[in-house]
A and B are shown apart, each in its own frame.
Chain A
Amino acid sequence: MHTKVRQLRQLLQEMERPVTDESQVSSGCWPLDAILPRSGFSRGSLVEWLVSDQASGAGLLALLAARQACGGSGILVIVDCGRLFYPPAAAAFQIQLDRTIVVHPVNEKDECWALDQALRCPHVSAVLAWPRRFDSRTFRRLQLAAAASGCLGLFVRPVVTQKEPSWADVRLLVTPETSRSGWRLHVKLLRCRGHIQKDFVELEIDEQTGEIHAAHPCPLVPRLACSETGSRQSQA
């Protein structure tokens, strides 16, 4: 076999192999962890949250994941191009503002540069941003930067970017729904490294406490049924 092909195969195998548990970080809500193949996000990777609007709740989910990644003592970098980030709300979600660095780039070029620098810093635990546009090369550079430092990159992006190529390990589509009780969010797993099956979860954020729980435990039953059917077929 040609050396180049062998190297390429090795590289692909490395990219697709599941990463070790030590490098995992919970998403901050167990129902979402349940649909992720490694029960959380990998450190040193990028996670994309696609939303139709800034009022869709994905920012809150990304913030919770950032809180988990920081674990009380890590450093969070927020790259906020639009100057919309409201710190008191983040503090209500137990984000430590004294360990949070907020960057306000003035244009998209500076935003990409700031993201690259923050993701490349090994002492930064998580980077949260709301970028709009990336070209594939920039995205790849950011992914390599995160992989080099072990930092978790969390990007909340418009849903129109769904068709664009992505270097994120996990891609989630968040759609808010109406509910009689808490705030309901439909989270669909569009893409996950080493995991082919597309899955979804209905989350509900409690009005009073802000805790997140599964809105419908029922979808678990069809999934279990599917796996049961699959195992029977394999036995047969």
Chain B
Amino acid sequence: MPVAEATGLTRRHGRYTLHVEPYDPSTDLEALEKLAVWCHRFSPLVGIDEIQPPETLLLDVGGVTSLFGGEESLIGQTRRGLQQLRLNVQMGLASTLGAAWALAHYGCGEAGQEHLAIAASDQSQASIHRLPLAALRLPARMLETLQRLGLVTIADLLPLPRGELKARFGGFLLKRLDQILDQAPEMIVPVRSAPDFEVEWCFECPTSHHNSIQLVIKQLVERLCVLLRRHQRGVLLMICDLHYQHAPSTHLEVGLFRPSIDPQHLFQLVHVQLENFRLSDFVTDISLRATSSTPLVCRQEEFVTIKGRDYKDSSRIASLVEKLSGRVGRLNVVRYILQNDAQPEMAYRAEPLIGYRPRGKTCSAVSFTPLHQPLHLLPEPLLLQVMIVDANGPPSHFQYHDQQQHVARHWGPERIETGWWRQRNVRRDYYRVETTTGQRLWIFRCLKYGSWFLHGMFG
């Protein structure tokens, strides 16, 4: 549904407010992978559909249905579990992967069950033959050609000579047909959950002794690194949970710019946070887990310089970013990405250097000259007390820094009308003004209310 249509719909109902997020396929895939890991409770082999965009989970339930009390019961348990996660799903169960996919997408709604289609082994072929050709997971262009030839269902395709079909449409159509009819194998590429890397320490007596706690954490870090080394994985995100005798547990989060299994380096990052950490109560046990890890890549260390190279390759920069993130917080060590947006606050976004995933569209260059926009932008525009208003320009006198400012020169206006799709319509007239003392400020008039705001200072 387009955003404009959704906005209209919410306005018509009046009760709802619309929250819009930009479409991000990588986040969708990440969520689907998490759901696939969750589905391991129903099947040892869970995969994700290869069709783009991926939206289907594939579960191999061969041989496990008896553990759940039969096919119906397994389906029921799966659906209930997903409903608890507030997910409405369509499910199909059949003897082949292709048939199950086809039933889930095009077989639901039959036999009074809206979200479920099961093809019993004896009726499997018949139920599949009735399905439309789209159930074969064919490209849109091929489907269009087949429909132009008057072929609507899978049954229409079956009497046609295979040789001619291959000559006309290639081997892909026959492959899909064979897969759905159980005449060709199809594999599920499994989604595997990351192994648990967790170590813990229980104190014989609860303690608040800082040095003892540090020593234990140091040992836990070493044990965690041994565990990770066996799997040739490095830590990207590590969480240290401190459980107290009475108070609720607290945790320290350590993010890394590059994966590492160096115990000294990891402990140093924890230690930076421990310096400013206050214990809530006596500590009973400590657990340390690597919540995000990745396979280690061995590469030669840089010799002298990193000029011209990607700075992400520099171990010194990685160490600096990790230390900074550990002390001031992961979200406070960022790089900026420009965005194509006329509203100054939206013209860029910050991405944490640790644990970020590039998302959305970026813009590589700005379209204005250096003195066109200020070097300092206030997070929130500051309301100006205007003394004398000029009808055709900015105010000639206004209050700033507890001093009356007189405008000597000005440039503008530059009108910005944007943001209507965010439900925050922005209509501003921007002016660059130079005061009689030479200071340069960026002010605007809000066209909605007529008030004046300071938005930036030119360095």
Q: Do A and B come from one complex?
A: yes
A residues sitting closer than 8 Å to B (CB atoms) are: 53-63, 71, 73-75, 77, 83-93, 97-106, 110, 113-114, 117-118, 121-124, 175-179, 183-185, 205-210
- Cα A224 to Cα B439 in complex, Å, equals 32
List, sorted by A's number, 15 A–B pairs whose CB atoms are closer than 8 Å. Answer: A54-B376, A54-B459, A55-B374, A56-B459, A62-B459, A88-B338, A88-B348, A98-B335, A101-B321, A102-B335, A104-B328, A178-B436, A183-B440, A207-B369, A209-B370
- Cα A234 to Cα B438 in complex, Å, equals 42
Q: Who on chain A is nearest to B409 by CB?
A: A178
Interchain CB contact under 8 A, B336 and A100: yes
Q: Which residues of A contact B366 (CB under 8 A)?
A: 88, 91-92
- Cα A155 to Cα B409 in complex, Å, equals 29
- Cα A97 to Cα B363 in complex, Å, equals 11
Q: How far is the CB of B431 from chain A (nearest CB, A)?
A: 14
Interchain CB contact under 8 A, B369 and A54: no
Name the one of A59, A62, A91, A121 contacting B316, with C-beta atoms under 8 angstroms. A121
Q: How far is the CB of A118 from chain B (nearest CB, A)?
A: 7
Q: Does B337 contact A (CB under 8 A)?
A: yes
Interchain CB contact under 8 A, A74 and B333: no
- Cα A113 to Cα B457 in complex, Å, equals 27
Q: Which candidate, B156-164, B184-192, B305-313, is the interface stretch facing chain A?
A: B305-313
Interchain CB contact under 8 A, B376 and A178: no
Name the one of A77, A83, A89, A179 contacting B374, with C-beta atoms under 8 angstroms. A89
Q: How far is the CB of B330 from chain A (nearest CB, A)?
A: 11
| Shortest beta-carbon contacts, A-B, top 8 | A210-B370, A176-B438, A59-B459, A86-B377, A55-B457, A87-B336, A55-B439, A60-B459
Taking A92-B372, A110-B327 as contacts, is the C-beta distance between A175 and B332 under 8 angstroms?
Answer: no
Q: How far is the CB of B268 from chain A (nearest CB, A)?
A: 12
Interchain CB contact under 8 A, B334 and A102: yes
Query: For the complex, would chain B's binding face be called helix, strand, loop or mixed by DSSP majority?
Result: mixed
Q: Which residues of B contact A99 (CB under 8 A)?
A: 311
Considering the complex, which residues of chain B in the window 29-47 have a beta carbon less than 8 Å from any beta carbon of chain A? none
Q: Does B350 contact A (CB under 8 A)?
A: yes
Taking A73-B308, A121-B316 as contacts, is the C-beta distance between A92 and B369 under 8 angstroms?
Answer: yes
Q: Does B437 contact A (CB under 8 A)?
A: yes
Taking A59-B376, A60-B375, A99-B311 as contacts, is the C-beta distance between A86 and B317 under 8 angstroms?
Answer: no
Q: Which residues of B contact A86 (CB under 8 A)?
A: 344, 348, 373-377, 456
- Cα A61 to Cα B459 in complex, Å, equals 8
Interchain CB contact under 8 A, B353 and A110: no
Chain B: number of interface residues, binned into ranges = 35 or more
Q: Does B241 contact A (CB under 8 A)?
A: no
- Cα A60 to Cα B327 in complex, Å, equals 29
Name the one of B320, B328, B369, B373 contacting A124, with C-beta atoms under 8 angstroms. B320
Interchain CB contact under 8 A, A84 and B335: no
Q: Does B197 contact A (CB under 8 A)?
A: no
Q: How far is the CB of A179 from chain B (nearest CB, A)?
A: 8
- Cα A11 to Cα B120 in complex, Å, equals 91
Name the one of A56, A178, A208 contacting B408, with C-beta atoms under 8 angstroms. A178
Q: Which residues of B contact A89 (CB under 8 A)?
A: 370, 373-375, 377
Q: Which residues of B contact A177 (CB under 8 A)?
A: 438
Taking A56-B459, A87-B336, A97-B336 as contacts, is the C-beta distance between A102 and B350 under 8 angstroms?
Answer: yes
Interchain CB contact under 8 A, A101 and B353: yes
Q: Does B441 contact A (CB under 8 A)?
A: yes
Contact with A along B444-459 (1 / 0, CB 8 A): 0000000000001111
Q: Which residues of B contact A61 (CB under 8 A)?
A: 459
Interchain CB contact under 8 A, B338 and A91: yes
Interchain CB contact under 8 A, B434 and A73: no
Q: Which residues of A contact B348 (CB under 8 A)?
A: 86-88
Q: Who on chain B is nearest to A54 by CB?
A: B457
- Cα A68 to Cα B173 in complex, Å, equals 60
Interchain CB contact under 8 A, A176 and B437: yes
Q: Does B87 contact A (CB under 8 A)?
A: no
Q: Does B383 contact A (CB under 8 A)?
A: no
Q: Which residues of A contact B377 (CB under 8 A)?
A: 84-86, 89
- Cα A208 to Cα B371 in complex, Å, equals 7
- Cα A97 to Cα B347 in complex, Å, equals 13
Interchain CB contact under 8 A, A103 and B336: no
- Cα A103 to Cα B330 in complex, Å, equals 10
Interchain CB contact under 8 A, A102 and B336: yes
Q: Does B378 contact A (CB under 8 A)?
A: yes
- Cα A136 to Cα B439 in complex, Å, equals 30
